[in-house]
Amino acid sequence: MPRDVWRVRTGDGRDVGTEQPESFDRVLVDVPCSGLGALRRRPESRWRRTPKDLADLGPLQRALLKSALEAVRPGGVVAYVTCSPHPAETTAVVSDALRKRDDLELLDAGAVLDSVSLTGNLGAGHDSTAQLWPHIHSTDAMFLALIRKKA
């Protein structure tokens, strides 16, 4: 893809929504998380995590998603991604964002993944989000939600 049609922004993701409101067609927000989805590659990390980690990360994850939603244009899409299967870091964050705003809609992330997969059926969809699993998909336990800002 030509470089003039995309750009990478560096900085604090919590600021992009106020610094560049409604400036982007697509925003990928890959939030920091507990990393519980990568246990197959780093099994020792299970001993480094506590329930407090989830509580500490939640406000940051919500702030990053909020900023991304402010930065996307009407009709644009935010991809919320994390390498955790824990509902506190995945569906709860997305549900909170959808509940607070009436100009958002959740797209079917499972169907989107199916449409670009080699087999055509990853079976990762669940309630319009997608959750990949190590034992099924031979990958980390990655989560994806696609949120469109209504035009």
- Name the phi and psi angles at 53, rounded to 5: -60, -45
What pLDDT sits at residue 102?
95
What pLDDT sits at residue 38?
54
CA separation for the pair 131, 110 (Å, rounded): 8
- Does residue 6 form part of some domain? no
Q: Which residues contact 2 (CB under 8 A, 6 or more apart)?
A: none
Tens digit of each residue's pLDDT (9 = 90 or more) over 31-54: 988 766 555 555 566 556 666 777
Per-residue pLDDT tens digits of the chain, which is 151 residues long: 677 877 777 889 999 999 999 999 999 999 988 766 555 555 566 556 666 777 788 999 999 999 999 999 999 999 999 988 888 999 999 999 999 999 999 999 988 888 887 777 777 778 899 988 888 877 878 899 999 999 8
- Does residue 7 form part of some domain? no
What pLDDT sits at residue 6?
78
The CATH number of residue 29's host domain is 3.40.50.150
Print the domain residue range for 141: 13-149
CA separation for the pair 145, 95 (Å, rounded): 10
- Does residue 82 form part of some domain? yes
Pull the structure tokens for residue 72. Answer: 């996307």
Instruction: Name the pTM for this structure.
Output: 0.85
Number of domains the chain contains: 1
Which one, of 56, 60, 49, 65, lies nearest residue 16 by Cα? Answer: 65
For the annotated catalytic residues, the residue numbers are 83
